[in-house]
Amino acid sequence: MEKIVVEGGRRLEGTVAISGAKNAALPILISGILADGCSVYRNVPDLRDIRTVMALLKNLGVHVHTNGDVVEVDGASIKNHEAPYNLVKTMRASVLVLGPLLARLGKARVSLPGGCAIGARPVNLHLKGLKHMGADIRLEHGYIDAQADRLKGACIYFDIPTVTGTENLMMAAALAEGTTTLKNAAREPEVVALAETLTRMGARITGAGTPEIVISGAKALTPVTVDIIPDRIETGTFMIAAAVTGGDVLITGCKPKHLEAVIHKVRQAGVKVEIDPKGLHVVAGNGISSVDVKTLPYPGFPTDMQAQFMVLMCLADGLSVISETIFENRFIHVCELRRMGAEIKVSGNTAVVQGGRPLTGAPVMATDLRASASLILAGLAARGLTEISRVYHIDRGYEAIEKKLAALGARLWRTRESP
């Protein structure tokens, strides 16, 4: 296994370009199986999760071809309907094939995702929605076995707005008979990007980006060429990297509109954030003010930025309260940050951060994707060396992170962990 070593204390300066969004690319690549032909996706990030989704598609018999950041998915070549355990356990988002397989082939066998480090993350709302659309669903031997002659449009209410649940049902509805209405749907930009893709493929969709999405299914969908939207979480992570190193960074190729809550909170912390024609210009101010944050579904503050924002608050001049309302166990990074000198108390879904304690480098362990990002950020701000083990988590969702940070002046490198 590999570890990343960060030598802290260097000010980040310069320009960084943002990659395509992992969480937009995953459902959009999968939507390729809905068309009877070859779709082309551009600006696809080179990530471990993207390689997993390509393996998943290949396992369905689908021809997938990659050339740099361009990926072709030939939906006409689909042969199988099974997403096996070894792929789903590597990446929970594999469950996104369930709706499209049912809609396209009338059957799907998908391993049931288990819990993960950040929470139980059930998929009951995905299944409930598909049942409403007429699917017969059985859970046996750790697999979801689903069948439907042709899915039928239905009115579905989500008890909780779920991102991949909304995406799964939107893809199923795009080939279903009649109209499907999704109420209390997720409003994330990645949901909107998928809706735009499905619309260009021939489905009629209104309301994406609002809590009510209406999808009129088509008999067949056509292949498309799509550019993946920029990654808003990678953007936010580089904003914090600039802020915690007293830096001055221009973040290009991003979409500030997708980050309003993050920009608002980072500015409240005293960091200068200018919306530039090229992207976001982030300049650290004199000192960091403490700010309270509560994670919420979009357009609220994203849970995927909570760990990184906590690092900023570790350096702030007072107490801040961080509430996590999306996942029940998303404070795992706290114990590692404490080992670096942070003073953080956790009670239930609330963390109270006493800022201003100096961070010092330490050996720490990555536990999930965003937690690992927070440890790299803490390492950048800390005195001395931070060694982050289990970095395969970071490779799931940050393209070339060491290279991008090094180009801004950070000093970090990857080595083998000693046994």
Pick 304 or 336: Cβ nearer ligand EPU: 304
Give the nearest distance from C-beta 125 to ligand EPU in angstroms: 3
d(CA 239, CA 387): 22
d(CA 298, CA 182): 16
Amino acid at 331: F
Which residues are near ligand EPU by CB under 6 A?
23, 26, 93, 119, 121-126, 160, 162-165, 186, 190, 303-304, 326-327, 369-370, 397
CB within 8 Å of 80: residues ≥ 6 apart: 59, 60, 61
Pick 119 or 209: Cβ nearer ligand EPU: 119
Give the nearest distance from C-beta 311 to ligand EPU in angstroms: 16
Give the nearest distance from C-beta 127 to ligand EPU in angstroms: 7
Q: Which two tokens stand for residue 310?
A: 């906590």
Pick 301 or 316: Cβ nearer ligand EPU: 301
Annotated active-site residue 254? The verdict is no
Q: Of 77, 32, 22, which Cα lies nearest the Cα of 52? A: 22
Give the nearest distance from C-beta 33 to ligand EPU in angstroms: 17
Query: Tokens 């001055």 — which residue?
Result: 248
Pick 77 or 323: Cβ nearer ligand EPU: 323
148-152 contacts at long range (C-beta below 8 A, 24 or more positions apart): 148/102, 148/106, 148/107, 149/106, 150/106, 150/176, 150/177, 151/102, 151/103, 151/175, 151/176, 151/177, 151/217, 152/176, 152/177, 152/178
Give the nearest distance from C-beta 45 to ligand EPU in angstroms: 12
Pick 169 or 359: Cβ nearer ligand EPU: 169
Give the nearest distance from C-beta 328 to ligand EPU in angstroms: 7
Pick 284 or 371: Cβ nearer ligand EPU: 371
Catalytic residue among 116, 155, 254, 335: 116
Catalytic (active-site) positions? 116
